[in-house]
Structure 1
Amino acid sequence: MHERSPGPSLAATRLPSPASLLLLLLLSLSLLAGRSHGWWCREDDEGCSLMGFRGDDLPVTGGGISEKGRFSYGFASCAGKRASMEDFYETRVDDVDGETVGLFGVFDGHGGARAAEYVKKHLFSNLIKHPKFMTDTKAAIAETFNHTDSEFLKADSSHTRDAGSTASTAILVGGRLVVANVGDSRAVVSKGGKAIAVSRDHKPDQTDERQRIEEAGGFVMWAGTWRVGGVLAVSRAFGDKLLKQYVVADPEIKEEVVDSSLEFLILASDGLWDVVTNDGKLLPWSSQ
């Protein structure tokens, strides 16, 4: 079955203007609070508190700033009740053909950490090496996602247990913000004071996803939630070799112009979005 990771990895990006970007992979506590001690994830085997679920444990946090301060970023990642963490994140600032490029991603593993860890290590390295990265960024992203997926499946062929991972990514190239998503992690921007999802959660019960799966010879059934083959609760992912015919790594890509109306970006795994809305309001069951 699809094992969502033990806690959320998240990312947020503040984008006041093309000349002065503030990229945050860390959600503001005040934004999500409603409680003085911080926001909470669902308190089951996948939930956690940003302030630390296990005793005094604290989340992994950090951040950085690009050369000349064009953008900065922060990040946070914390585990829930499970013994191991299956979420990963990546933050990179690279010089590509004389252009400063920001690459940010959240990778939510299931069936173990192997796929998420591999995608973290290789996806962006593969992307910036793509010959079309600067000239046709969307095409480069689409080809790199599928190439990285194929390479992981080859590297993981000796394992009998399936492993997979989502990928919610944001690439800053010049005055463009390119968001590419596979799976049910999510990217949300604040634009003109409104929270807008700029990615779609890939779930098997979506009409087009179900049709694609069934046309490929698969099926979707209810098993606590809608699942591909009664097993996996996401319809797109890296890895998952036994379901690869149906569970593809084709990203959906959306581009935003970075201007004064684009205030910040959030990337987060479903450990967050299961309990808060896009604009940071706690969902009713989050306190149960």
Structure 2
Amino acid sequence: MGYLNSVLSSSSQVHADDSPASGGGLRLILLLLLIFYGLFYGNSQNGKFSYGYASSPGKRSSMEDFYETRIDGVEGEIVGLFGVFDGHGGARAAEYVKHNLFSNLIRHPKFISDTKSAIADAYSHTDSEFLKSENNQNRDAGSTASTAILVGDRLLVANVGDSRAVICRGGNAIAVSRDHKPDQTDERQRIEDAGGFVMWAGTWRVGGVLAVSRAFGDRLLKQYVVADPEIQEEVIDSSLEFLILASDGLWDVVTNEEAVAMIKPIQDPEEAAKRLMQEAYQRGSADNITCVVVRFLANQGGSSFPGSA
């Protein structure tokens, strides 16, 4: 699978010069590769999708956002894995999660049979392994994660932190993740029950330090800032048009409804992701901006994939 993964991963993310990056792919092309290598069988009619991404430091001097777009074969299933990871305290945590979370997930023995528990385990394991790797670091680092897993006709969205996932279904914008903020009633209660506190310091912060209540890393606050994902499942059917995953560099200045309306007419998901990124910059976003757009093709006509029923 090593060669296959190198062919199918579209996230060769380089931040050497912190320049904007964008790209995309169409599952049909990737599927033909999978057929060639004898890894595909079954019905893919509900699983057709194309995707694109765009990422920029924006007005920041450094880049702490990372993204991942990956197509793989697991137990005869074609799966799509997409993620946006927004680092804080440096890029270490976000980069680690980008490189390890999905690999840990697809190796999980229950990935196909119990995908939700596999996602929860992969988040926990990745967080634990990152914390172990941080023993010699003087500065704490952490990262959000907003991820989307496509398996057959299932879309599973998992998140920690305030990167967000929004779908367009039947023309309507629907948030399929919740921003984890310390002032939310249940999050504040969880933190206080663990012995922590939430206070105002320009915004609500855990211990007066961190503006998100769940994240990877953040070793010094780990007792309160957990990496337990909230997971939501959606059916991929003809009413599901597209998905947006983005860091708060977009959501700080663009509403869910505005984002959906803005890219609804744009069929090319790479162009759609770039449009969102550019709009956020023009509206004055002060943060790194990263967007991933997945457009579902089941309701757009055309012939079935080879091998489809």
- Scaled to the shorter chain, the TM-score interval is 0.7 to 0.9
Deviation (angstroms), 1:159: 0.2
Deviations 1:33-77 (A, max 9, x none): xxxxxxxxxxxxxxxxxxxxx9xx962000112234732211000
The letter of the residue matching 2:175 is A
Q: SS where residue 258 of structure 2 aligns?
A: coil
Deviation (angstroms), 1:280: 1.8
Moved more, 131-140 or 74-83: 74-83
Cα distance in 1 for residues equivalent to 2:258 and 2:74: 35
Deviations 1:210-255 (A, max 9, x none): 0000000000000000000000000000000000000000000000
Unaligned runs of 5+ in 2: 1-10, 12-16, 33-47, 260-278, 286-309
Q: SS where residue 157 of structure 1 aligns?
A: coil
Deviation (angstroms), 1:200: 0.1
Cα distance in 2 for residues equivalent to 1:142 and 1:217: 24
2:26 aligns with 65
Q: SS where residue 235 of structure 1 aligns?
A: coil
1:8 aligns with none
2:43 aligns with none
1:216 aligns with 194
Q: Runs of at least 4 residues of structure 1 off by over 3 A?
A: 285-288
Could you tell me which of 152, 155, 166 is aligned with 1:177? 155
Q: SS where residue 167 of structure 2 aligns?
A: strand
Within 5 Å, give how 1:41-56 maps onto structure 2: none
1:125 and 2:86 correspond? no
The TM-score, its normalising length taken from structure 2, stands at 0.72
Deviation (angstroms), 1:81: 3.0
1:258 and 2:236 correspond? yes
Within 5 Å, give how 1:82-93 maps onto structure 2: 82-93=60-71
Q: Is the 8 A contact 2:156 2:231 kept in 1?
A: yes
Q: SS where residue 264 of structure 1 aligns?
A: strand
The TM-score, its normalising length taken from structure 1, stands at 0.77
Q: SS where residue 144 of structure 1 aligns?
A: helix
1:106 and 2:99 correspond? no
Cα distance in 2 for residues equivalent to 1:219 and 1:278: 30
1:159 and 2:137 correspond? yes
Cα distance in 2 for residues equivalent to 1:251 and 1:58: 30
1:206 and 2:184 correspond? yes
Deviations 1:90-135 (A, max 9, x none): 0000000111000000000000000000000000000000000000
Cα distance in 2 for residues equivalent to 1:184 and 1:174: 27
Q: SS where residue 232 of structure 1 aligns?
A: coil
Cα distance in 2 for residues equivalent to 1:127 and 1:65: 23
Q: SS where residue 256 of structure 2 aligns?
A: coil
Q: SS where residue 123 of structure 1 aligns?
A: helix
Cα distance in 1 for residues equivalent to 2:235 and 2:59: 40
The letter of the residue matching 2:106 is I
Cα distance in 2 for residues equivalent to 1:78 and 1:115: 18
1:238 aligns with 216
Q: SS where residue 279 of structure 1 aligns?
A: helix
Q: SS where residue 138 of structure 1 aligns?
A: helix
Aligned residues: 233
The letter of the residue matching 2:172 is K
Deviations 1:128-182 (A, max 9, x none): 0000000000000001101100000001111010000000000000000000000
